[in-house]
Amino acid sequence: MNGKMKHGALWTIIFTIVSLAWIFPIALVVLNSFKNKAYISRYTFALPNSKSFAGLENYARGVERTDLIASFGWTLLVTIGAVLLILVCTAMCAWWIVRVNNWVAKFIYVLFLFNMIVPFQMVMFPLSKIADMMKLNTPWGLWIIYLGFGAGLAVFMFTGVVKGIPAEIEEAAMIDGASVPRTFFTIVVPMMKPSIVSVAILQTMWIWNDFLLPYLTLDLRKYKTMSIAVQYLKGGYGSVDMGAMMGCLVLSIIPIVVFYMFCQKHIIAGVTAGAVKG
């Protein structure tokens, strides 16, 4: 018993140190967002004092220079639209794959798994060209692109969940006169809720923080997400307004951190729901 307690205490100390190492860069960004930009590079690790404290000046300057409010709106539109599209399409696809269960369905499932393996660098340049040709260089066009890249993980998780749902429940609903869409949305979807929430959290965190896909596909003269807007604080000859950048970074991570804190308990439930044999 004492040995187990010692091992437990040791692991607690180790994971506490690892957690602090992960949190430290974020804390450093928050700390420096309240300093005058002249002090950020010279006294990066020092606490703000009467000379270096800038108040909310960095935040105001960052919002003004990057038009961060408009960028927040575009980021919110892209994230909500893409996540909803991913959830609806992949949940229906996973249900079809499991219930049909023929060689076509199995082949499509393998393609979704392959989607998770292919490096993004292999398709980034053709993707940019195709997005321009098909007029997908808008926030709503970006929904379709995110659907393509996010479908692999979502279908993989949803397939495991659907395998654990007895087909007899759906058959009973259809015998009672329920159509296929009604059976799916009223019977299957409520039983998939933990995994749906889990996938929604993972996809939201990815899409909100993503820089490369919007940068490659969006028409940047009209649309900028928050991750792209922050990059416009870089000036000529490598100059960077570090104060404004720190302020914008803090403002951009606050929504997703709050979202994750409220939803993190659903991640384990969603992953466990898909952990079935099949």
pLDDT band at residue 1 under the 50/70/90 scheme:
low
Looking at residue 83, what is its pLDDT? 96
- Residue appearing with tokens 């979502």: 154
Residue 101 and residue 116: Cα distance in Å, rounded? 21
Averaged pLDDT of the chain: 85
* CATH architecture of the domain with residue range 59-273: Orthogonal Bundle (1.10)
Looking at residue 13, what is its pLDDT? 87
- Residue appearing with tokens 């909100």: 208
Residue 177 pLDDT greater than 60, yes or no: yes
Looking at residue 278, what is its pLDDT? 45
Looking at residue 272, what is its pLDDT? 56
Residues 6 or more apart in contact with residue 274 via CB below 8 angstroms: 157, 158, 159, 160, 161, 164, 195
Residue 204 pLDDT greater than 50, yes or no: yes
Mean pLDDT of 73-101: 94
Looking at residue 32, what is its pLDDT? 86
Looking at residue 277, what is its pLDDT? 46
Q: pTM for the whole thing?
A: 0.85
Segment 113-133, tens digit of pLDDT: 888 888 888 888 888 888 888
Q: What are phi and psi of 35, to 5 degrees?
A: -105, 155
Is residue 75 within 8 Å of 248, Cβ to Cβ? no
Which two structure tokens, joined as six digits, stand for 133? 């040709």
Segment 234-268, tens digit of pLDDT: 765 567 778 888 889 899 988 888 888 887 776 66
Mean pLDDT of 61-75: 90
Is residue 72 within 8 Å of 226, Cβ to Cβ? yes
Sketch the domain layout of the chain as residue ranges.
2-56, 59-273
Residue 57 pLDDT greater than 90, yes or no: no
Mean pLDDT of 135-163: 91
Residue 171 pLDDT greater than 90, yes or no: no
Range list of H helices, 33-178:
37-42, 57-66, 68-100, 103-117, 124-133, 139-163, 167-175
